[in-house]
Amino acid sequence: MTADAGNVATSKAAAAARRRTRAPFVTGEYPGFRFFTIVFFFFLYAPILVLIVYSFNDNRSATLWTEFSIDWYIRAFNNDDIRRAALNSLTIALVAASAATVIATLAALILVRGGRFPGHSLAYGLISLPLMVPEIVTAVATLSFFAAIGLSLGLGNVIIAHTVFCIPFAYMPIQARLSDMDTTFEQAAQDLYANDWNAFRHVTLPLMMPGIVAGAMLAFIISIDDVIITLMVAGAGSTTLPVYIYGMVRMGVTPEVNAVSTVLLAISILFVSLSWMINRRR
């Protein structure tokens, strides 16, 4: 019996040792996973690469390559309608992103540093709601609301709609930054007789700034890229660049459409990359 018990104990110890030395599960080594990953990224990014390449096509046809040229970029920049739409997009995005960032910052301070209060979870849910509601539903609801109250402010309608829609996107990096911040710095400032405003201005706000900047950039790029909400609420003279591109595509894809889309893509990648890098700072 003693020998059998010893053998059992030895077997269990050997099995435990094998479990400890077993190589960790690597997702990329799962049978077939690598192939499907390559296929996924190919279908995701190949159309974008095709768009960029054909934006430099000298041929009028968007699918027949002849030679390299930047003429379509020059034509796009010399197009008065495109410049006007781009100016509208920049104006709307700057104002909406700024307003959304201010509101998101105040909301983060209340929800993260304000402690638990009645309706805390409801407030957080309301801020996150635009992320979960389909954009077309938000667009139709906003259009119906503006029509019901008789609001017609031109660009103002689009700015209000974009501000509300961009708040959760600005809130996410600000809330994440504020949640990671150590409160000992603020407590030290108060121990040195700083009042609440001075502690916020000299300690909390500078520490929050990477999250605020990242949130503002994310809100800006969400606003400047939006089509559905803008298409619903924009009035005459409020056409933005994405809506203008949508109208051009309905008439047929040309290298000029590809050129404008490539510029918009480059702006989006730039701002998203900056937002990501700033948000990683600690």
CATH number of the domain to which 220 belongs: 1.10.3720.10
Angle, CA of 140, 225 and 59, to the nearest 5°: 120
- pLDDT value for 186: 77
Whether 207 is in a domain gets the answer yes
CA dist 258 and 50 (Å) reads 9
Q: What are the b/e assignments for 205-215, b being 16+ CB within 10 Å?
A: eebbebbbbbb
Evaluate if residue 182 carries a pLDDT over 80: no
Number of folded domains in the chain? 1
pLDDT of residue 274: 77
Q: 24-33, 133-142, 161-170: which has the minimum mean pLDDT?
A: 24-33
Which token pair is 68?
A: 């390299």
Band (pLDDT 50/70/90 cuts) for residue 161 is very high
Nearest to 94 by CA among 205, 221, 214: 221
**Banded pLDDT at 150 (limits 50, 70, 90):** confident
What is the sign of the dihedral through the CA atoms of 76, 77, 81 and 87? Answer: positive
Query: Are the C-beta atoms of 54 and 255 separated by less than 8 Å?
Result: yes
Alpha-carbon distance of 75 to 89, in angstroms, equals 19
45 in a structural domain: no
Q: Residue 166 sits in which domain range? A: 79-279
Whether 277 and 122 have beta carbons less than 8 Å apart is answered as no
Find all residues with CB under 8 Å of 76, minimum gap 6, and list them.
82, 256, 259, 260, 263
| pLDDT tens digit sequence for 82-133 | 888 888 888 999 999 999 999 999 999 888 877 777 777 788 778 888 888 8
The more confident residue out of 53 and 185 is 53
185 exposure class (CB count in 10 Å sphere: 0-12, 13-18, 19+): middle
Residue 10 lies in a domain: no
The rounded mean pLDDT for the chain is 80
List Cβ neighbours of 113 (8 Å cut-off, separation of 6 or more): 178
Residues 265-281 have a mean pLDDT of 75
| Mean pLDDT within 256-281 | 78
Has residue 189 been placed in a domain?
A: yes
The pLDDT of residue 1: 46
Is the CA virtual torsion 208, 210, 214, 219 positive or negative? positive
Q: What is the pLDDT of residue 167?
A: 92
**Does the pLDDT value for residue 265 go beyond 50?**
yes
Helix ranges, the chain (H): 2-21, 33-54, 71-77, 80-113, 120-132, 135-149, 155-180, 184-191, 196-199, 205-225, 228-233, 241-250, 255-279
Would you say residue 5 lies in a domain?
no
Most confident of 8-12, 118-122, 133-137, 199-203: 133-137
Give the contacts of 106 (CB within 8 A, at least 6 positions apart): none
Residue 3 confidence (pLDDT) above 70: no
Q: Coil, strand, or helix at residue 25?
A: coil
Is it the case that residue 260 has pLDDT exceeding 90?
no
- 276: CB partners within 8 A, 6+ apart: 214
Name the amino acid, one letter, at 79. Answer: N
> Considering the entire predicted model, what is its pTM?
0.76
Query: Is residue 108, in this structure, part of any structural domain at all?
Result: yes
Q: Which has the closest alpha carbon to 265: 231, 281, 241? A: 241
Residue 263 located in a structural domain: yes
Is residue 86, in this structure, part of any structural domain at all? yes
- Tokens at 164, concatenated: 């509300």
Q: What would you report as the CA-atom Rg of the chain, rounded to the nearest whole angstrom?
A: 27
Residue 225 pLDDT > 80: yes
